[in-house]
């Protein structure tokens, strides 16, 4: 079979599966979000009482009816799915606003932060990996190895706390949030963009640290596998310059496993980090998801999780396509 | 001994150090030589009065410069026309203030809507700053007939909503007819409006500025209830007025139902009632006119920054005739994390904050006062106890042997003697407060006397041992712990939700203390929704919570009333018995029924009899010791107040409780910045 046709059919199959998978995920998401004891109202009442307020039973019942929480689980699910099928992501119980509005408000900054992080990670990790592998057991290699182990082993929220403090101490800036106080609710302007750039680098570095370390380790290991293969010796014997040789052949091969992870970034771009973003007080989707889950705001959490699932499926598909495009061996296997 | 405690203290010290370091590096915004001393209480009034801008010299009242400019541009009627004929004259704490400034606060997002409610405290009547009485607010006064069945409320002529529309009796009648009596909006009418026979009290318009409430039985809690009808909990049950001229467009009694439903769908709501419930709250819908000192400026509690701007029609003036509020704007900044909010307070980024300030940060806050440019006040609550152990009186239905012990008064008294309250005070409450039982504070009229406040609070393990022996718990198992009378292992569980304070530390100390007298117990730290659910299903043996309702035993949901829901795990099956009129649950013994009798009598009695009954209630409460108090009178509940050094007219001490809407009862509209 022609490789092109094979790929087309493969992609079509995957896309056809998407609605079925989403349907299954939607049930799982809904059931799991509802799994903890109580419902949105018990969580809400608990939160109210934690700040000194209390509600009587009549009020609680009225709210339960207002939100439709008095109905059986499957009816609630059908109502939710019904709205989604009509292209409506539903209404957040906690925020009392449409979910689509809440998500889209935070989408731009979440994706921006994700792209920054992604760029930072790849721009740093690949060269470090190559350097480490080609200069194995050199000072530089040991240096990066130690650096990487620290990066992998330190929880990112801890890094966030330490860097927050350092930035405060030495630069005198408050690094929580993505904007200074005067720009938080201002309309977009040149000043606001500059202000964003002033703030976004720190979360990007923190979030990228862990990924950089991991990616550099993988890159180093992959490349080391390739560097001792006969074709490298051959090319070297033929007099190819060392840098050209390494970059043109082994690096391309070593990138393969990494490319297969690119697709995973798609859902990550959407949700961003949860814990670090909460610690750093970032207005992204992650903290909103965390909050929706702890408050059992199942419509908002469900909407986010569902989009996340859809992006994960699409991301895997994109990875597969990229891989096939990058590696002729995979393309040919199909035929 | 307190291994667990040491561990948490270690963390706490770590955080303290971190906070200190951050505080230490914070740029100090306040110049060093600034006059820190606040003006004396009797500040020369004339001198201060010169401070506000001097616009409109012709009129009776003066206004903020930003409003004077709007008047000059013709965008706003003059201040004399905006104020009612008899504006509320607000006393000032220190002196007449200056206009201007932004009050910066922190909030935790959409479910922190009561943060707004507490700052504006927008009700027909209010609690006084000390919380001892109800005072006029939107309503300029009231009277009642002799037997307290008919209450008449007088409104202010010429008072206006924030959009300039008149505020009249119709705004109360709209609430009554179209919200309270509307079965779609209120399937069950708010309890405070329901007569004892189940019918709903009547509300009539006498004239445009007079409204009359008629109940079928004496109602002495009427004003207390009215003082809390300010849209709290963003619940329409907590309203007693609404802007009729604006809200009619969202109500099917005034517009076409189908068009309304379509509009609701379009805005993402399922039904018109859902839409109405949102549109009627100023902090959810900034277009909704309000009567508060500050009104939302286009943002809501679900935004990153929630901004309130001064209401040009606010109906109050200071003694010099300057329209309030003094401060231009209130800015709530969203914090995803409570600790981040606390750090912001330490760094001096918040001007006035008690809500969400963690009492355990008190030493750090005090340490950094000068650098952060703030001072720290403490406003302890009305009394009660900040960590109590509530014993489930109906656990016997689940486990007869353990349940019988929990029901045994002598057992509870013995366990109370076994507790080392000084250790709890030092280790969990930073040495603040005092060991006491859950009764009101000494300065409160309901205080039952020292004898009951400190009854059974001595640390006396010997006596505890004797009492436990006396009730027959003499057998011990091979670990040295007392066994149940039937010879089985006794293992008490204390359920703790880490909500306000180091309650898990308190419980841990209690467990060690009880082990010393041979009672095995363990601490179970639970997520609060789970804890609440287990409480409702009669599955908790003992829980730690705080007793914060001693100032209001006859209104709301007092924890001394077995019918309260939510209440503590006093007796979930007793509550069921009351709810079902005796068909389900468990019938309470006479001493529990006595509580209900006292509370019901007080609800129908005049003030003096109420005070007698309240004292009796608390004597009875301590004598039976269903709830063991440990330490009380600390500023644990929103009582550590961080105040900008420049902020004036903040009282040094104030009544602090949720029904008072603290700091609302301290009248934030008369706060001002001395800069």
What mean pLDDT, rounded, does chain A reach?
A: 83
d(CA B212, nearest CA chain A) in Å:
25
Q: What is the C-alpha to C-alpha distance for residues B46 and B48, in angstroms, rounded to an integer?
A: 5
d(CA A135, nearest CA chain B) in Å:
40
CB atoms near residue A70 (< 10 Å): 14
The pLDDT tens digits for B626-656 are 999 999 999 888 899 999 999 999 999 888 8
Mean per-residue pLDDT, A127-155: 88
Residues A224 and A114 in one domain: yes
Q: What is the C-alpha to C-alpha distance for residues A250 and B560, in angstroms, rounded to an integer?
A: 76
Which residue of chain B comes nearest to A42, CA vs CA? B529
Q: Tell me what percent of the residues of chain B surpass a pLDDT of 70.
A: 91
pLDDT of residue B36: 34
Mutate to test the interface with A, among B190, B273, B304 (most CBs of A within 10 A): B304
d(CA B475, nearest CA chain A) in Å:
39
Q: Which residues of B touch A54 (CB under 8 A)?
A: 556-557, 566, 658
Reported confidence tier of residue A2, pLDDT bands at 50, 70, 90 = low
Q: Do A174 and B278 touch (CB under 8 A)?
A: no
Between A and B, how many CB-CB pairs are < 8 A?
A: 144
Reported confidence tier of residue A331, pLDDT bands at 50, 70, 90 = low
* Cβ partners under 8 Å of residue B201, min gap 6: B193, B194, B195, B213, B214, B215, B216, B219
pLDDT of residue B15: 41
Mean per-residue pLDDT, B396-412: 95
Q: Do A279 and B340 touch (CB under 8 A)?
A: yes
Q: Do B533 and A38 touch (CB under 8 A)?
A: yes
Phi, psi of B290 (to 5 degrees): -135, 170
Look at residue A123 and tell me if it is in a domain.
yes
Which residues of A, range 95-134, sit inside 8 Å of B by Cβ? 95-98, 100-102
Q: Which residues of B touch A181 (CB under 8 A)?
A: 333
Look at residue A102 and tell me if it is in a domain.
no
Q: Do A281 and B335 touch (CB under 8 A)?
A: yes
| DSSP structure class, residue B61 | -
Residues A171 and A282 in one domain: yes
Higher-pLDDT residue of B13 and B599 is B599
Select from B270, B274, B528 the Cβ nearest to the Cβ of A50.
Answer: B528
Does residue B376 contact residue B383 with C-beta atoms inside 8 Å? no
Q: Is the pLDDT of residue B149 over 60?
A: yes
Residues A78 and A114 in one domain: no
Q: Is the pLDDT of residue B16 over 80?
A: no
Q: Do B565 and A57 touch (CB under 8 A)?
A: yes
* Cβ partners under 8 Å of residue B162, min gap 6: B289, B290, B291, B292, B295, B311, B312, B313, B314
Does residue B44 contact residue B304 with C-beta atoms inside 8 Å? no
Q: Does A41 touch chain B (CB under 8 A)?
A: no
Q: Which residues of A touch B26 (CB under 8 A)?
A: 168
Q: Do B191 and A94 touch (CB under 8 A)?
A: no
Does residue A291 contact residue A224 with C-beta atoms inside 8 Å? no
Reported confidence tier of residue B201, pLDDT bands at 50, 70, 90 = very high
Look at residue A304 and tell me if it is in a domain.
yes
Q: Which residue range is the domain that position A250 belongs to? A: 108-292
Residues A316 and A281 in one domain: no
Residues A175 and A314 in one domain: no
Does residue B627 contact residue B453 with C-beta atoms inside 8 Å? no
Q: Do B530 and A37 touch (CB under 8 A)?
A: yes
Q: Do B529 and A278 touch (CB under 8 A)?
A: no
Phi, psi of B380 (to 5 degrees): -65, 160
Which residue of chain A comes nearest to B267, CA vs CA? A98
Q: Does B57 touch chain A (CB under 8 A)?
A: no
Domain total of chain A: 2
As a dihedral over the C-alpha atoms of residue B180, residue B181, residue B187, residue B190, rounded to 10 degrees, the angle is 40
Q: Which residues of A touch B533 (CB under 8 A)?
A: 37-38, 42
Reported confidence tier of residue A334, pLDDT bands at 50, 70, 90 = low
What mean pLDDT, rounded, does chain B reach?
A: 88
Q: Is the pLDDT of residue B165 over 80?
A: yes
Select from A47, A59, A278 the Cβ nearest to the Cβ of B336.
Answer: A278
Q: Which of A270, A269, A256 is nearest to A327 (CA)?
A: A256
Residues A119 and A46 in one domain: no
The pLDDT tens digits for B97-140 are 999 999 999 998 888 899 999 999 999 999 999 888 899 999 99
d(CA B275, nearest CA chain A) in Å:
9
Q: Do A184 and B304 touch (CB under 8 A)?
A: yes
At A237, which CATH number? 1.10.3720.10
Q: Does A275 touch chain B (CB under 8 A)?
A: no
Q: Do B237 and A62 touch (CB under 8 A)?
A: yes
Select from B110, B269, B278 the Cβ nearest to the Cβ of A94.
Answer: B110
Q: Do B638 and A52 touch (CB under 8 A)?
A: yes
For A32-182, where are the E strands, in sequence order? none
Look at residue A279 and tell me if it is in a domain.
yes
Residues A171 and A254 in one domain: yes
Q: Tell me what percent of the residues of chain B surpass a pLDDT of 90.
A: 70
- Last residue of one domain, picked from the residues A276, A292, A308: A292
SS3 A301: helix
Q: Is the pLDDT of residue B217 over 80?
A: yes
Q: Does B111 touch chain A (CB under 8 A)?
A: yes
Look at residue A6 and tell me if it is in a domain.
yes
Reported confidence tier of residue A173, pLDDT bands at 50, 70, 90 = low
Mean per-residue pLDDT, B52-60: 54
Angstrom CA distances, B56 to A39, B96, B400, stand at 56, 18, 77
Residues A199 and A58 in one domain: no
Which of A139-153, A166-180, A263-277 shows the lowest mean pLDDT across its residues?
Answer: A166-180
Select from B22, B233, B533 the Cβ nearest to the Cβ of A168.
Answer: B22
Residues A120 and A259 in one domain: yes
Q: Is the pLDDT of residue B392 over 50?
A: yes
SS3 B631: strand
Residues A116 and A225 in one domain: yes
d(CA A109, nearest CA chain B) in Å:
13
Q: Does A187 touch chain B (CB under 8 A)?
A: no
Look at residue A321 and tell me if it is in a domain.
yes
Residues A271 and A305 in one domain: no
The pLDDT tens digits for B297-334 are 999 998 889 999 999 999 999 999 999 999 999 999 98
Which residue of chain A comes nearest to B279, CA vs CA? A96
Mean per-residue pLDDT, B354-377: 91
Q: Does A16 touch chain B (CB under 8 A)?
A: no
Residues A123 and A240 in one domain: yes
Q: Do B566 and A45 touch (CB under 8 A)?
A: yes
């Amino acid at each position: 079979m022609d490789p092109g046709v094979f790929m087309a059919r493969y992609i079509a199959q995957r896309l056809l599966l998407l609605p079925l998978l989403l349907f299954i995920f939607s049930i799982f998401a809904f059931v799991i979000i509802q799994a903890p004891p109580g419902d949105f109202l018990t969580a809400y009442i608990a939160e109210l009482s934690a700040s000194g307020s209390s509600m009587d039973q009549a009020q609680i019942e009225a709210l339960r009816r207002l939100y439709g929480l008095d109905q059986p689980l499957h009816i609630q699910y059908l109502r939710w799915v019904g709205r989604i099928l009509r292209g409506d992501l539903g209404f957040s119980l906690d925020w009392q606003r449409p979910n689509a509005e809440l998500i889209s408000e935070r989408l731009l900054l979440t994706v921006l932060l994700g792209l920054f992080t992604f760029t930072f990670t790849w721009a740093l990790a690949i060269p470090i990996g190559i350097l480490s592998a080609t200069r194995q057991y050199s000072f530089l290699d040991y240096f990066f190895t130690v650096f990487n182990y620290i990066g992998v082993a330190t929880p990112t929220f801890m890094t966030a706390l330490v860097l927050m403090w350092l930035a405060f101490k030495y630069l005198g800036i408050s690094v929580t949030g993505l904007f200074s106080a005067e720009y938080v609710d201002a309309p977009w302007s040149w000043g606001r963009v500059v202000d964003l750039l002033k703030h976004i680098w720190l979360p990007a570095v923190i979030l990228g640290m862990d990924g950089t370390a991991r990616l550099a380790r993988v890159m180093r290991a992959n490349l080391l596998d390739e560097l001792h293969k006969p074709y490298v010796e051959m090319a070297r014997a033929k007099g190819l310059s060392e840098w050209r040789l390494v970059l043109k052949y082994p690096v391309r091969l070593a990138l393969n496993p990494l490319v297969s992870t690119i697709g995973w970034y798609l859902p990550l771009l959407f949700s961003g980090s949860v814990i670090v973003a909460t610690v750093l007080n970032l207005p992204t989707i992650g903290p909103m998801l965390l909050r929706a889950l702890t408050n059992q705001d199942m419509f908002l959490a469900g909407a986010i999780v569902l989009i996340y699932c859809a992006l994960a499926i699409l991301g895997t598909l994109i990875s597969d396509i990229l891989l096939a495009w990058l590696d002729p061996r995979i393309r040919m296997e199909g035929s | 001994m307190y291994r667990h405690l040491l561990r948490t203290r270690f963390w706490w010290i770590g955080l303290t150090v971190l906070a200190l370091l951050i505080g230490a590096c914070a740029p100090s915004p306040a110049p060093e030589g600034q006059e820190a001393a606040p003006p004396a209480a009797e500040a020369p009034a004339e001198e201060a009065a010169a401070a506000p801008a001097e616009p409109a010299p012709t009129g009776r009242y003066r206004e903020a410069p930003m409003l004077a400019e709007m008047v000059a541009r013709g965008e706003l009627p003059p201040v004399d026309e905006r104020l009612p004929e008899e504006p509320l004259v607000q006393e000032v704490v220190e002196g007449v203030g200056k206009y201007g400034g932004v009050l910066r606060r922190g909030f935790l997002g959409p479910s922190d809507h009561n943060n707004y409610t507490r700052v504006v405290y927008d009700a027909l009547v209010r609690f006084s700053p000390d919380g001892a009485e109800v005072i006029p607010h939107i309503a300029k006064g009231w009277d009642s007939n002799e037997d307290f069945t008919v209450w008449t409320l007088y409104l202010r002529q010429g008072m206006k909503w924030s959009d300039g529309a008149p505020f009249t009796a119709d705004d109360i009648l709209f609430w009554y007819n179209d919200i309270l009596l509307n079965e779609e909006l209120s399937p069950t009418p708010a309890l405070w409006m329901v007569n004892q026979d189940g019918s709903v009290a009547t509300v009539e318009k006498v004239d445009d500025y007079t409204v009359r409430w008629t109940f079928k039985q004496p109602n002495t809690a009427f004003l207390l209830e009215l003082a809390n009808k300010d849209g709290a909990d963003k619940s329409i049950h907590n309203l007693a007025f609404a802007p009729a001229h604006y809200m009619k467009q969202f109500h099917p009694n005034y517009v076409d139902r189908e068009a309304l439903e379509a509009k609701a769908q379009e805005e993402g709501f399922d039904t018109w009632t859902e839409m109405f419930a949102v549109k009627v709250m100023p902090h959810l819908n900034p277009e909704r006119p309000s009567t508060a000192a500050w009104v939302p400026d286009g943002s809501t509690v679900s935004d990153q920054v929630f901004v309130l701007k001064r209401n040009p029609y606010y109906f109050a003036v200071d003694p010099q005739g300057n329209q309030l509020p003094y401060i231009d704007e209130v800015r709530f900044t969203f914090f995803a994390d409570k600790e981040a909010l606390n750090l912001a307070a330490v760094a001096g980024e918040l001007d006035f904050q008690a809500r969400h300030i963690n009492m355990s940060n008190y030493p750090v806050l005090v340490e950094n006062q000068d650098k952060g440019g703030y001072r720290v006040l403490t406003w302890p609550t009305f009394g009660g106890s900040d960590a109590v152990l509530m014993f489930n009186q109906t656990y016997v239905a689940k486990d007869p042997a353990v349940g019988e012990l929990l029901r045994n008064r002598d057992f509870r008294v013995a366990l109370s003697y076994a507790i080392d309250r000084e250790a709890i005070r030092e280790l969990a409450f930073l040495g603040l407060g005092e060991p006491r039982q859950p009764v009101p504070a000494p300065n409160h009229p309901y205080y039952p006397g020292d004898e009951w406040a400190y009854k059974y609070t001595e640390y006396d393990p010997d006596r505890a041992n004797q009492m436990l022996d006396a009730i027959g718990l003499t057998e011990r198992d091979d670990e040295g712990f007392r066994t149940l009378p039937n010879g089985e292992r006794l293992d008490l569980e204390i359920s703790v939700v880490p909500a306000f304070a180091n309650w898990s530390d308190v419980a841990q100390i209690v467990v060690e203390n009880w082990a010393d007298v041979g009672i095995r117990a363990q601490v179970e730290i639970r997520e609060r929704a789970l804890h609440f659910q287990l409480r409702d299903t009669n599955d908790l043996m003992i829980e730690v919570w705080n007793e914060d309702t001693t100032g209001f035993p006859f209104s709301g949901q007092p924890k001394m009333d077995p019918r309260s829901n939510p209440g503590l795990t006093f007796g979930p099956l007793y509550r069921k018995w009351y709810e079902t009129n005796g068909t389900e649950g468990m019938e309470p013994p006479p001493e529990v029924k006595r509580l209900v009798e006292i509370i019901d009598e007080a609800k129908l009695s005049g003030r003096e009899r109420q005070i007698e009954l309240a004292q009796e209630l608390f004597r009875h409460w301590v004598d039976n010791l269903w709830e063991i108090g440990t330490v009380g009178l600390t500023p644990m509940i929103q009582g550590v107040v961080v105040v900008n050094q420049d902020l004036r007219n903040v009282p040094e001490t104030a009544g602090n409780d949720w029904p008072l809407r603290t700091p609302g009862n301290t009248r934030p509209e008369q706060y001002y910045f001395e800069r």
